[in-house]
Amino acid sequence: MDYIISGIGILIGVIGITLFWLSQREIRSLIKQLNEINYKETNQKIMVRSSSALYKTLATKLNETIEEKKQSQRDYIKMEKELKETIANLSHDIRTPLTSISGYLQLLQQEDLDEEKKKKYLQIISGRTRNLQGLVESFYELSQLNSSEYKLECEEIHIERIMCELIASFYQDFVDKGLSLQIDIQENLPSAYANEGAVTRILLNLIQNTLRYAHKNIQIKLAQEGIYIKLSIINESGELKEDDVPYLFDRFFMGNRVRNGEGTGVGLAVVKKLVILLGGKVEAEIINERLVIEVYFKIFREMSGL
């Protein structure tokens, strides 16, 4: 009997040593694989040879952690690239009006400059200063909209009233640029569920963008479409190409247009951010050489359940 007990004890010991050796081998293998993944550009996954469910679970969790780390690195690289592009674009757009202002200030220092030219140069400086101020304000607004803490309080509003008031305030600008404006507003248009300040900013940016780049005839339509109120702004596409359209609402996008201190591309990015925050959507396309921008606002009764 003692021999049997002793034999069993030896067998258990051998099994234990074997399991310990196998576990050590598996752990060394895991460490080696982790080192290779950490220090090499590879899509390699952690593999285990053991049939143990515990080791397989450990490998799965390690692979998930590694993938999360890689995704974080990719996100960081993308964010860093976008930041560098933003800084470069912002620097370019700030430098343009500043260079102009500096040049005209030097001209104003000329002793033989007549009063008419002084007045003209001061008007140009004033305009460039407003452009610079608008750029800074737009960029600040865009940074605020990107914050997760930025919230909008919505209520029942009438978009047609806001739109008509804004168009009236810019009527002379359309006349001065020789632009023909056609407005079509659906009768008995339902109210929208939105923030009045945000809608005003959206319409203002769209109108200013239209004034800056439109040619000849402009159509502005406001009508119900399903659960939305759809605003359509249609004008000739000019130099804008179909390939540019998907990037139209990106920060600082200018397409083939040359930056001249008048536009920065930030305004439409603000439009998109605000529309999304209001639960709507914004689309753009070129149809028969005409740019069509469509903004969708939620109808009040659809949001309130009335």
Residue at 119: amino acid letter: K
3-state secondary structure of 235: strand
Dihedral sign from CA coordinates of 233, 235, 241, 242: positive
Strand 228-236 versus strand 192-194 pairing type: unpaired
- How much is the pLDDT for 216? 80
- Phi, psi dihedral angles at 45 (to 5 degrees): -105, 155
Backbone dihedral region of 261: left (phi > 0), alpha (psi from -120 to 50 degrees) or beta? left
Give, in order, the Cα–Cα distances in Å from 219 to each of 51, 202, 204, 210, 244: 70, 17, 16, 10, 21
Scan for tokens 């990719």, then name that residue.
Answer: 74
User: What does the DSSP 8-state code read for residue 238?
Assistant: T
From first to last of its 306 residues, what are the pLDDT tens digits of the chain?
A: 544 445 444 545 444 444 444 466 666 776 676 676 666 666 777 776 666 676 677 777 777 777 777 788 887 887 777 667 667 766 766 777 788 888 888 888 887 878 888 888 888 888 778 767 766 776 776 677 766 667 778 899 999 999 998 888 888 888 888 888 899 999 989 999 998 988 988 898 888 888 877 778 889 999 999 999 999 999 886 777 777 777 777 765 554 443 444 444 577 888 888 898 899 999 988 888 888 899 999 998 755 554
Query: How many Å apart are CA 253 and CA 276, to the nearest integer?
Result: 19
Q: What is the pLDDT of residue 51?
A: 64
What pLDDT is recorded for position 159?
92
pLDDT at 26: 67
- What is the C-alpha separation between 251 and 92, in angstroms, rounded? 13
Measuring CA to CA, which residue among 123, 280, 267 is closest to residue 201? 267
pTM: 0.60
What does the pLDDT read at residue 259? 41
